[in-house]
Amino acid sequence: MIQAQKVSYRSKEVHIINDIDFECNSGEFVAILGPNGAGKSTFLSLLANELHQKGNKILLKSCDYNQWCEKELPKHKAKFSQHNNSDIPLNVEDVVMMGRYPYFDHIPSEEDKKAIQYSMECIDICPLQNREYNHLSGGEKQRVHLARVLSQLNNNVENKLLFLDEPLNNLDVLHQHKILELIKDFTIKGNTAIVVIHDLNLAAQFADKILLLEKGKKVCYDTPQKVLTQDTLSKVYNFPCIVTTNPVNNNPLIIFGK
């Protein structure tokens, strides 16, 4: 699905990302974890073709990003960014419709309207659709952008790729789970999601694989059971923790503190 070899990123002589190899297959839910400043968002931006550095080689579906047609690419991959503009003087519906911009020139088709309606239902923002975006709360704005990104990938293309940079910020528990379940459904259909996340327990519950980063380097990349161990976590996060088994779903359960 996506392959990256020896990816690095340097800004003003500071190595933010150092020689990371990464690969994932279609149908996988990959979570990127790590403490602050580990380079999670930067790595995601590099994978998503937002940041570039000479010498990096990243292949999406075995093709370099340069070889992709600019018009086709948005139908195969989408990204949800951590810092969304909070000042967009438009209605919610118009903002979600931007996700369909790759599909129409001037007039949105019935299909586009259905697609945004469907993703707004999934994300629970239908009651907001005629409100002004600028009047919403932080969490609601976040959900508007999630709906926009989802509607962007609502098509017949197989093996799509979705990047999400901390999608759960500002969201309440209900919506956190709802969105992770949506992403899970998305990956079960053969698509891939790469998600930067802070909550280790949610990652343990939903992710198929976990990439753990520390100071721009890869610590390990494997299934949650193998990555989320007491030793690794307390070393990387520099904080004591206990890992047990979640009594409800048998996933690893991490409890921080002495």
Partner 1 sequence: MQKKLSFYLISLLLFLIVLAVASIFIGVYQFEEGSLKTISKILSGNEDINPSDYYVFFDVRLPRVLMAILIGSGLAVSGTCLQGMFKNPLASPDLIGITAGSVLFAAITIVLGSYVKAVVPEIIHFSLLSIMSFIGAMITMSFVYKISSTNAKTNVGVLLLAGVAITALSGATTGLLTYLSDDEELRNLTFWTLGSLAGATWTKVGILTAVIITSVVLLINKGKSLNAMMLGERDASHLGIPVENIKRRIVLLSALMVGASVAFTGTIGFVGLIVPYILRLVFKSNYYYILPLSAVCGSILLLGADTISRTIVPPSEIPIGILTSIMGAPVFIAILIRFKKSI
Residues that bind partner 1 (CB under 8 A): 45, 48, 50, 70-71, 73-74, 77-79, 81, 83-85, 87-91, 94-95, 98-99, 101-102, 106-108, 132, 152
Burial 21-60 (b: 16+ CB within 10 A, else e): ebebebbebbbbbbeeebbbbbbbbbbbbebeeeebebeb
Least distance (Å) between residue 181 CB and partner 1: 24
Token pair belonging to 109? 């088709």
Least distance (Å) between residue 60 CB and partner 1: 13
Least distance (Å) between residue 133 CB and partner 1: 9
* Per-residue H/E/C for 45-103: HHHCCCCCCCCCEEEECCEEHHHCCCCCHHHHEEEECCCCCCCCCCEHHHHHHHHHHHH
Amino acid at 33: L
Cβ proximity to partner 1, 113 vs 226, nearer residue: 113
DSSP state of 160: -
Least distance (Å) between residue 24 CB and partner 1: 19
Cβ proximity to partner 1, 101 vs 239, nearer residue: 101
Cβ proximity to partner 1, 111 vs 132, nearer residue: 132
Q: How many CA atoms lie within 13 A of 225 on its CB side?
A: 4
Chain centroid, CA 42 distance in Å: 12
H-helix segments, 173-243: 173-188, 200-206, 224-227, 230-237
Cβ proximity to partner 1, 89 vs 127, nearer residue: 89
Cβ proximity to partner 1, 77 vs 209, nearer residue: 77
